[in-house]
């Protein structure tokens, strides 16, 4: 990847450029444009209040997505579920069924009797417009996607003000749980497994960039969004920040900066110009985590080693 030097000492000018860039990023972090201790960059820091009401947006999203009951159709279309069905599958969203909590809602493990399958159910926060946007982005991205390295969207619920997404269940959880903060009795991933995961994630990313009818920029590639099934087969997940890529002779998409500090490409963070290369940078950070076993951002390290990329560039 072009962002990283393979070997040799840098010259003085290049080191100064790197230090200046890192200082700019640190200033942005201090201003909460990029926040290290939260799963996502604060999307509300410097934004005007939404003019469209939540209720109005909630009433439009299903219509705009053309979500229909595809239960009588063959193929891989996402199926509609009622809220009662999903509540029953999770024991009314019991706390002991909760797998984790992200920026826009909680994820529960459940068993759907309708399809006799164990699933993961994401319940989006219906109180905010951003949750509605995540619902729309997920359905638009995964609804048209079919690849072994992307998590499968099984169905959805758009009932009243409730917005839920139903995915295949990934028994081994997310990659970060197998890389960082391991228990003393846990064996680290071997080299072949790490490279298998990296190769699978890269194939999923290539599919989004090159093989979809409308190319997609993932915008949130990180270890916690790479889920693992049996055999450590990786699948990309959580497409709530996904954005349609530039078309025609356009080179980028202008958008407010969103993503995760440590994985977000510096040029995108500074300019708001989103390109496919932004995802490649994020993939490079994941690859470095796989190789080194260190976190992209590690708050337990001193300032010089806090940011994995900056630390390696100083080597």
Strand partners, 236: 150, 226
190 is catalytic: no
To the question of whether residue 277 is assigned a binding role by annotation, the answer is: no
DSSP letters for 277-310: HHHHHHHHHHHHHHHH---SB-TTS-HHHHBHHH
**Which positions ≥6 away from 91 have C-beta within 8 Å?**
97, 110
Angle at 33 between CA 27 and CA 35, to 5 degrees: 90
Rg (CA), the chain: 20
Find all residues with CB under 8 Å of 95, minimum gap 6, and list them: none
Indicate which residue of 69, 220, 238, 302 is catalytic: 220
Residues 106 and 92: their CA atoms lie apart, in Å, by 13
If residue 120 lies in a helix (H) or strand (E), which one and from where to where? Answer: strand 117-124
State both tokens at 278: 């932004």
Residues with active-site annotation:
220
Annotated binding site for ATP: which residue ranges? 122
């Amino acid at each position: 990847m072009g962002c990283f030097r393979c070997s040799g000492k840098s010259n003085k000018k290049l080191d100064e450029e790197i230090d200046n860039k890192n200082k700019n990023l640190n200033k942005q972090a201090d201003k909460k444009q990029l926040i290290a201790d939260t799963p996502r960059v604060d999307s509300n820091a410097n934004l005007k209040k939404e003019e469209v009401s939540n209720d109005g947006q909630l009433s439009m999203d299903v219509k705009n997505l053309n979500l229909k009951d595809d239960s009588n159709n063959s193929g891989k279309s996402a199926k509609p579920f009622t809220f009662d069905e999903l509540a029953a599958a999770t024991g009314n969203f019991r706390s002991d069924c909760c797998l984790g909590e992200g920026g826009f809602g909680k994820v529960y493990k459940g068993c759907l009797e309708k399809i006799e399958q164990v699933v993961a159910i994401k319940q989006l926060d219906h109180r905010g417009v951003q949750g509605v946007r995540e619902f729309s982005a997920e359905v638009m991205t995964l609804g048209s996607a079919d690849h072994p390295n992307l998590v499968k969207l099984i169905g959805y619920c758009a009932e009243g003000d409730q917005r839920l997404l139903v995915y295949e269940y990934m028994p081994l959880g997310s990659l970060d749980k197998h890389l960082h903060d391991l228990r003393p009795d846990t064996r680290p991933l071997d080299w072949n497994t790490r490279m298998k995961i990296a190769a699978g994630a890269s194939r999923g990313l290539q599919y989004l960039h090159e093989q979809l009818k409308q190319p997609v920029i993932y915008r949130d590639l990180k270890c916690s969004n790479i889920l693992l099934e049996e055999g450590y087969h990786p699948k990309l997940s959580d497409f709530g920040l996904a954005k349609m890529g530039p078309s025609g002779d356009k080179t980028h998409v202008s958008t407010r900066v969103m993503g995760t500090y440590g994985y977000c490409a510096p040029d995108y963070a500074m300019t708001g110009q989103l390109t496919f290369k932004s995802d490649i940078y994020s993939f490079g950070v994941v690859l470095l985590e796989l190789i080194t076993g260190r976190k992209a951002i590690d708050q337990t390290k001193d300032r010089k080693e806090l940011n994995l990329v900056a630390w390696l560039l100083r080597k």
